[in-house]
């Protein structure tokens, strides 16, 4: 069958729009509540350098491969992989790679929406002055009360899912493109405003040194593992989002230059977020932390005890909400695109139906923090099980499969033509990485993670 010149769902208006969309997919809660902390705890600037090498040697090659698959296939991940496997004379089983992406995105969004709902709650909590003059015990108790309230969690989960599906239902150009053109510039502006506020906190240099001072003695073998793992996961690889966004990419855009721009912006946001967060933490004599403890206990407490903290606290949680929103629309897009292609129904109907199913599954995560908290399988709650399945099994397998298919199954002439890299040396280096080093690194992380889980 003749190859489609563009997706039936639409095409990004420009290379810049694709960069904004892919960056929006990559920039999420992990950039804000995880990366700055692990950088500071694992050697600061020394870790950042190691991480950048991991991005270049693992993240960028696989991301280029995933974008390549999307743009060549011009369909949903499932149909693209079926078509490309046929074109390469490979087994139909490679179509499972597309399904891994579609199902992963669906599962991740079901619990990601619940966590993002916490940020919406805290926009109001910080805005109404709840944390003004608060003590640490109060901040911790308030967060526990939120997660322990299934009705409250379900409400914000519902609000966030409606926000997500509203954008997706409007299509590539009127929905996804319009959203990222607003959300991403707004996210960057908010981040810079918060950095300016952090500079005035009186502890900016302390936060700067935490992130960037060269402490090579703090590097360890585990630091390399952490850097490798985060370099893969931060770019939204293996979940179909980058593949479907690649399907909407203009043919004239350079895949290599575009992917490097996305990787740069994703890393920049994570580092700048650290410069916005940790000076505020240290200025209040609080302990640096990672995860929900940083976002929903430490920082609200800091904002509640600083001049203008109420205003800037609201800006911060709006920033977090925007980051989550831009990521969430990419998570469900692969499934929506497949259903539109498979059944020929309107995008609006598909968005409503899939949105409801995702919301319904998300209730399992809502309840896992309260009324189902004691219900565990292999020591994991419903939320923990979904997180483990997607982050530690499905996404790594998807990433490895992407690298192996492009590196070993596709015709090299097709790969070379799609990438259009001007330098033969750069192409040869990329091909070596995507065939050998990148999949080996992801397999290493995959194996080590499973080993640690089953032997702990």
pLDDT in tens, 391-420: 999 999 999 999 999 999 999 999 999 998
* Predicted pLDDT at 2: 47
* Predicted pLDDT at 5: 61
Task: Write out pLDDT tens, residues 212-238.
Answer: 999 988 888 888 888 988 988 889 899
* Predicted pLDDT at 190: 93
Task: Write out pLDDT tens, residues 70-113.
Answer: 999 999 999 999 999 999 999 999 999 999 999 999 999 999 99
Q: Where are the alpha helices (DSSP H) in 306-394?
A: 309-343, 347-368, 382-389
% of the chain exceeding 90 in pLDDT: 76
Task: Write out pLDDT tens, residues 331-354.
Answer: 999 999 999 999 999 999 999 999
* Predicted pLDDT at 3: 57
* Predicted pLDDT at 1: 44
**Residue 421 predicted with pLDDT over 70:** yes
Q: Which helix (H) or strand (E) holds 151?
A: helix 150-169
Task: Write out pLDDT tens, residues 33-56.
Answer: 888 889 988 889 999 999 999 999
Mean pLDDT, the chain, integer: 92
pTM over 0.85: yes
Asked whether the beta carbons of 324 and 116 are under 8 A apart, the reply is yes
Range 184-193 average pLDDT: 93
* Predicted pLDDT at 97: 95
Task: Report the alpha-carbon distance of residue 235 to residue 298 in Å, rounded.
Answer: 27
Range 359-363 average pLDDT: 98
Asked whether the beta carbons of 311 and 16 are under 8 A apart, the reply is no
- Sign of the dihedral defined by the CA atoms of residues 399, 403, 406, 409, in that order: negative
The 10 Å Cβ neighbour count of residue 142 is: 19
Contacting residues for 207 by C-beta, under 8 A, at least 6 apart: 198, 274, 275, 277, 278, 279, 280, 281, 282
Task: Write out pLDDT tens, residues 287-334.
Answer: 887 678 888 988 999 999 888 889 999 999 999 999 999 999 999 999
For residue 153, give Cα distances in angstroms to 294, 299, 368. 19, 20, 11
Q: Which residue has the tokens 């179509």?
A: 95
């Amino acid at each position: 069958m003749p190859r489609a010149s563009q997706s039936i769902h639409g095409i990004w208006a420009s290379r810049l729009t694709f960069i904004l969309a892919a960056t929006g997919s990559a920039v999420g809660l992990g950039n804000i509540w995880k990366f700055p902390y692990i950088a500071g705890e694992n050697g600061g600037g020394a870790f950042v350098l190691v991480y950048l090498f991991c991005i270049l040697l693992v993240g960028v090659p696989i991301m280029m491969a995933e974008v390549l698959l999307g743009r060549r296939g011009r369909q949903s991940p499932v149909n693209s992989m079926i078509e490309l496997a046929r074109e390469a004379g490979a087994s139909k089983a490679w179509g499972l790679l597309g399904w891994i992406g579609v199902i992963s995105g669906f599962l991740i969004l079901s619990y990601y929406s619940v966590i993002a709902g916490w940020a919406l709650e805290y926009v109001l909590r910080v805005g109404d002055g709840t944390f003004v003059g608060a003590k640490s015990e109060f901040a911790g108790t308030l967060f526990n009360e939120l997660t322990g309230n299934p009705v409250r969690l379900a409400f914000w989960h519902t609000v966030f899912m409606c926000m997500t599906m509203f954008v997706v239902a409007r299509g590539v150009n009127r929905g996804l493109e319009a959203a990222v053109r607003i959300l991403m510039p707004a996210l960057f502006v908010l981040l810079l405003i918060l950095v300016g506020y952090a500079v005035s906190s009186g502890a900016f240099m302390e936060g700067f040194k935490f992130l960037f001072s060269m402490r090579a003695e703090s590097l360890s073998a585990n630091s390399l593992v952490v850097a490798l793992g985060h370099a893969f996961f931060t770019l939204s690889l293996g979940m179909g989002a980058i593949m479907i966004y690649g399907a909407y990419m203009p043919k004239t855009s350079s895949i290599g230059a575009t992917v490097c721009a996305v990787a740069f912006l994703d890393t920049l946001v994570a580092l700048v977020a650290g410069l916005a967060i940790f000076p505020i933490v240290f200025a209040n004599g609080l302990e640096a932390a990672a995860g929900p403890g940083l976002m929903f206990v430490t920082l609200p407490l800091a904002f509640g005890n600083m001049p203008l903290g109420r205003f800037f606290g609201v800006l911060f949680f709006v920033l977090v909400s925007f980051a989550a929103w831009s990521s969430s629309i990419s998570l469900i897009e692969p499934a929506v695109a497949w259903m539109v292609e498979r059944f020929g129904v309107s995008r609006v109907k598909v968005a409503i139906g899939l949105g409801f199913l995702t919301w319904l599954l998300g209730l399992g995560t809502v309840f896992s923090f309260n009324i189902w908290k004691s219900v565990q399988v292999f020591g994991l709650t419903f939320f923990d099980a979904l997180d483990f399945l997607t982050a530690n099994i499905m996404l790594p397998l998807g990433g490895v499969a992407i690298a192996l298919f492009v590196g070993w199954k596709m015709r090299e002439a097709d790969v070379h033509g799609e990438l259009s890299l001007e330098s033969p040396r750069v192409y040869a280096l990329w091909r070596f990485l995507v065939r050998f080093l990148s999949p080996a690194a992801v397999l290493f992380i995959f194996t080590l993670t499973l080993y640690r889980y089953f032997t702990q």
